[in-house]
Chain A
Amino acid sequence: MSTTAEAVGQAKAAITSADLAKAREVSATVGEFRSPTPRMVCRNVNVWYADKQAIKDVNLDIGKNEVVSMIGPSGCGKSTFLRCLNRMNDTIAGCRVSGTLELDGVDIYDKRLDVVPLRAQVGMVFQKPNPFPKSIYENVAYGPRIHGLTNDKAELDALVEESLRKAGLWEEVKDRLDQPGTGLSGGQQQRLCIARTIAVSPEVILMDEPCSALDPIATAKIEELIDELRANYSIAIVTHSMQQAARVSQRTAYFHLGDLIEVGQTDQIFTNPRHRLTEDYITGRFG
């Protein structure tokens, strides 16, 4: 029996606004947000959409060879925070980001920093599958091609195949690589997007609910892939499945209404949460 299913059976202890107010006062995150070997370092990150603050004073590191999962109720700012890490929020009019975000010690919000190489370095899989309306092959080959990662067609073919294999899609599409990527099923599209992202060999991969449209088998494949990628890369993954967070990540961060409530080793968060809100959430009393 899963934690969520158990939680449904329990009587609900509603969260009062007094609890939330208390949480606000002790806004400092519970647990160790630093990593001994940080890849990305985020300090005092605030994000506003126009006048609405979506992220409040978040501090979090993403370490080398580490998977950090981000969990929290819908609308708490997980996607927003993730999008700060490769400056994808730049494309949203009215979105403001403050604080320090560094990749390998380089301030990624520096005015002089070029976002194109940054995004090649920090790849992203979006919440909604968004393949290009081009062929399956083109979808995967596009990134390597614009960055000039391969020398010839054979190399590119091999890279496309390898990426599709890693994403667990090769067997399904190897006979129809020239068909439009948009003609695939939702889950296949998401795996195509994952293949597209890993084809450019990013060093940090951001995944926004990559498995929300996938069946358990495909999910297992992606989780395997994440585990494999961890050997070389750093990964931040947003997920609504606590089992998934528990399976793939070393550290877990719990967000609540724009605050980072608690960070810690994944097993500690799930077995012994220190913050009341975290406990309520993972036992299913909230969200």
Chain B
Amino acid sequence: MNSPIAAARPRAIDRVNQSLKRRYAAERRFRFLGASAVVIGLLFVTILFVDIIGKGYTAFWQTSIQLSIYFDPEVIDPSGERDPQELRRADYQKLARDALRAEFPEVQRRQELRELYGLLSTGVAQQLAERVQANPERIGTTEAVWLLADDDVDMLIKGKIDRDLPESDRRVKDRPLAWIEALEAKGAIEKHFNTPFFSNGTSREPELAGIAGALMGSFYTLLLTLLFSFPIAVATAVYLEEFAPKNRWTDLIEVNINNLAAVPSIVFGLLGLAVFINFFGVPRSTPLVGALVLTLMTLPTIIIASRAALKSVPPSIREAALGVGASPLQTQFHHVLPLAMPGMLTGTIIGMAQALGETAPLLMIGMIAFIVDIPGGATDAATVLPVQIFLWADSPERGFVERTSAAIMVLLAFLIAMNLTAVMLRRKFERRW
């Protein structure tokens, strides 16, 4: 071979080899940068998690005091008829107080007694009432019962109040401390798994406050947001991407949608207040109005993601479908949408995760109200997890600090679960072409 190309070849490969070194160096640099970015990201996530879990894991255990309770018929059921109404109205607090006095007979003075009663949570009345309701046979018997301790006792047992501080600086004074230590010595103080945290609504008392209310509120709100936003967003994306003529109007709409994605969420809250509550009369503080506002907020995100997903479907698939005589709608529903679905779902879950973590617009529509009852539907007044976190973080009691972190952990768990679902759905729907 003596063509000019063959003659030039050895020199070309020399050049290639020369440039190779530089190219590989660039590649190594890029990989290093990428890896460092990932490491830094992971580092911050780890710090966040360690901090939150470190502060919050104690909230999953709650201190209880064991007392032998005499279910006094005189107090619970003076008439002796086991009338449920009467059983419910009885002064169960007195049973616990009597038990405490029996435990510490030396305490007599009123002031001291008040301190003694303060060892127990006000929630013990409810605890005892439930026991009697579960089994009225208990009336007249004596039983060792674990009763919820006050949040100060809880903090002391969890070591969040330093016993060595001088009394004047300590929230738990000397006398209660002595009683607590006496109970500890007897083995009558223990930490139990904190079921009330998951079954109660919020409360002014940290030891009684739970996230069930906020959780249900978030659940209803998100469910409705999904039901409203997904169909609207997909319909909008499909129409704009596949059917609408490309002209100045659709350009304008596109610009507006992109703008909406960047509007501060508080503005959507104000809009919701003005339109949904004041104009349409949707009840305030409810998951329904919350979902309407969050729908407005998440729509642009889902629309933009859905349009990108539609754009990434190869045009040859549309041609193939149209070529065998499928109508444009059939082309969309049979071929394009299934292929775009993973991308649309990813966008939807990102939008939902955003909605799950949103606080500001919900404050404007009254979802910040102090609501103890667990909402039973979309039109009951409710609050949501992030707002609950905000409210607890704002409370002065020491016991709310760990609960705030615990609520954040629950919120994060939900976010992780949602994102995992997104990944799984994507895997399931993903197809090669």
Contact = CB atoms under 8 A, between A and B. Distances in A.
B43 interface: no
B317 A200 contact: no
A10 interface: no
Given A132-B335, A146-B330, A180-B432, A197 B316 contact: no
Nearest to B431: A133
Interface in B408-433: 431-433
B426 to A, nearest CB: 15
A120 B433 CA distance: 24
Contact of A120 (B246, B318, B319, B325): B325
A117 B322 CA distance: 11
A119 interface: yes
B313 to A, nearest CB: 10
Interface string A236-275: 0000000000000000000000000000000000000000
Given A180-B432, A182-B433, A147 B316 contact: no
Nearest to B433: A133
Contact of A132 (B246, B315, B321, B327): B321
B326 A146 contact: yes
Contacts of B334: 142, 146
A88 to B, nearest CB: 7
A196 B316 contact: no
A91 B321 CA distance: 12
B166 interface: no
Interface string A106-134: 00000000001101100110101011110
Contacts of B326: 116, 142-143, 146
A92 to B, nearest CB: 9
Interface string A64-98: 00000000000000000000001010010100000
A229 interface: no
B293 interface: no
A183 B431 CA distance: 11
Interface in A129-169: 130-133, 142-143, 146-147
Interface residues of A, number: 27
Contacts of A146: 324-326, 330, 334
A40 B36 CA distance: 65
A116 B323 CA distance: 9
A193 interface: yes
A182 B432 contact: yes
A180 B335 CA distance: 14
B107 interface: no
A86 B334 CA distance: 21
A196 B324 contact: yes
29 contacts: A86-B323, A88-B323, A91-B318, A91-B319, A116-B325, A116-B327, A117-B325, A119-B323, A119-B324, A123-B324, A124-B323, A126-B319, A128-B316, A130-B314, A130-B316, A130-B317, A130-B319, A130-B320, A131-B320, A132-B317, A133-B431, A142-B326, A143-B324, A146-B326, A182-B432, A183-B432, A196-B324, A197-B323, A200-B325
Contacts, number: 68
A119 B322 contact: yes
Given A88-B323, A143-B325, 13 more contacts: A91-B318, A119-B325, A123-B324, A126-B320, A128-B316, A132-B320, A133-B317, A142-B326, A146-B326, A146-B334, A182-B431, A182-B432, A197-B324
A142 B324 contact: yes
Contacts of A143: 324-326
B428 to A, nearest CB: 14
Contacts of B327: 116
B372 to A, nearest CB: 53
Interface string B296-320: 0000000000000000001111111
Contacts of B317: 130, 132-133
Contacts of B335: 132
Contacts of B322: 88, 91, 119
Contacts of B433: 133, 182
B224 interface: no
Contacts of A130: 314, 316-317, 319-320
B339 interface: yes
A133 B334 CA distance: 11
Contact of B324 (A133, A180, A183, A200): A200
Contacts of A180: 431-432
B249 to A, nearest CB: 15
A10 to B, nearest CB: 20
A182 B322 CA distance: 18
A132 B317 CA distance: 6
A119 B318 CA distance: 13
A126 B319 CA distance: 9
A146 B329 CA distance: 12
Nearest to A127: B316
Nearest to A87: B322
Contacts of B323: 86, 88, 119, 123-124, 126, 197
Interface string A183-226: 10000000001001100100000000000000000000000000
Contacts of B330: 146
Contact of A133 (B246, B325, B339): B339
A116 to B, nearest CB: 5
A180 B319 CA distance: 19
Contacts of A124: 323
Interface string B324-360: 1111001000110001000000000000000000000
Contacts of B325: 116-117, 119-120, 143, 146-147, 200
Contacts of B316: 126, 128, 130
Nearest to A128: B316
Contacts of A131: 320
A93 B247 CA distance: 11
A147 B314 CA distance: 24
Contacts of B314: 130
Nearest to B328: A116
A110 B315 CA distance: 25
